[in-house]
Amino acid sequence: MEGPFINPHFKGAQPEEHIIAPSIDLVKRWHELSGNRVRLITYAPEQAADVRAFEDYLADNNIIGSVGHSNATRDFLQHNSKASHITHLYNAQRPMSHREPGVTGHAMLEDNIRTELIVDGFHVYPDMVNVAYKLKTANRIDLITDSMRAKGLGDGESELGGQKVWVKDKQARLADGTLAGSVLEFDDAFRNIMAFTGASIEEAIQMASVNQAVEFGLDTKGTLRIGKDADLNVFSADLSALEATYSLGRHFSKADAPTAEA
């Protein structure tokens, strides 16, 4: 879950009227309604009345607390938060500067913190992706897309949370120009992380698959081993084309994709 426990100052494309302070009671209700399937919640720790109690509740219920859409200072996070995950590093958070490290600097400095990265070249400048790669290493980066419903549909008008979104040149934006998620496809994120950083294909796989499986305790996912789910993508030799996908050992190709006529 990304929101609604965020800071309005860094709301991004989230509707401000739905933003509220972190609430244990609400998390408990949502977790129960989901059949205990909530696994990660983004929140702004500085917005909590008792951030330690909130984080303890998340930990006790096997929910990962992820700092995001936050205006927390490095000092606040050091002394008040135990979070070990950061939602889309650099984006919608107090930035790093020479006067105050912010959320971004805190994530860079703490070796135990895992960071998400939107590697589309728009949310984060490629050289800044490389900075994160050098400081966090492939072991502490989770590639994400942050994609919204317009992914794969080309340029045009769409919607996000009741707000109109315009997609142009592979960027999704609100009327005021705010990035509204992305239309990044994951195979492009996989290629981009190597192009932006010089990461090896093994490291790209680590950031695209292995890290997430480890963090969420998905013992049958993330790697190809006997007894694990046979989930994999097949690329051309130069990685320029995604040729096939296997899910639980079942082969899918472009021919299996639904058509407009269907």
In this structure, the answer to whether residues 177 and 98 fall within a common structural domain is no
In this structure, the answer to whether residues 55 and 168 fall within a common structural domain is no
Average predicted confidence (pLDDT) for the chain: 94
In this structure, the answer to whether residues 174 and 219 fall within a common structural domain is no
| The predicted structure's pLDDT at residue 251 | 92
| The predicted structure's pLDDT at residue 161 | 80
CATH number at residue 104: 3.20.20.140
Q: Is 262 exposed, middle or buried (0-12, 13-18, 19+ CB in 10 A)?
A: exposed
**146 catalytic per annotation:** yes
In this structure, the answer to whether residues 45 and 157 fall within a common structural domain is no
Instruction: Name the packing angle between helices 51-60 and 24-33 (round to 10°).
Output: 20
| The predicted structure's pLDDT at residue 94 | 97
CA pair distance 18, 140, nearest whole angstrom: 31
CA pair distance 180, 177, nearest whole angstrom: 9
Rounded mean pLDDT of 55-79?
Answer: 97
Is residue 17, in this structure, part of any structural domain at all?
A: yes
| The predicted structure's pLDDT at residue 14 | 87
Is residue 12's pLDDT more than 60? yes
Is residue 18, in this structure, part of any structural domain at all?
A: yes
In this structure, the answer to whether residues 83 and 189 fall within a common structural domain is yes
pTM exceeding 0.85? yes
In this structure, the answer to whether residues 152 and 127 fall within a common structural domain is no
Rounded mean pLDDT of 160-175?
Answer: 90
Residue 13's pLDDT band (cuts 50, 70, 90):
confident
| The predicted structure's pLDDT at residue 35 | 96
Rounded mean pLDDT of 37-50?
Answer: 97
Q: Of the listed 120, 142, 146, 231, which one is catalytic?
A: 146
Domain tally for the chain?
2
Rounded mean pLDDT of 215-221?
Answer: 93
In this structure, the answer to whether residues 153 and 132 fall within a common structural domain is no
Is residue 262's pLDDT more than 50? no
CB-facing half-sphere around the CA of 193: CA atoms within 13 A: 30
Q: Give the structural domain span for 19.
A: 8-147+183-224
Got the DSSP string for 111-177?
A: TT-EEEEE-SSSSS-HHHHHHHHHHH-GGGEEEE--B-TTTTS-SEEEEETTEEEEEETTEEE-TTS
In this structure, the answer to whether residues 154 and 213 fall within a common structural domain is no
For 73-93, write each residue's pLDDT tens digit: 999 999 999 999 999 999 999
In this structure, the answer to whether residues 126 and 12 fall within a common structural domain is yes
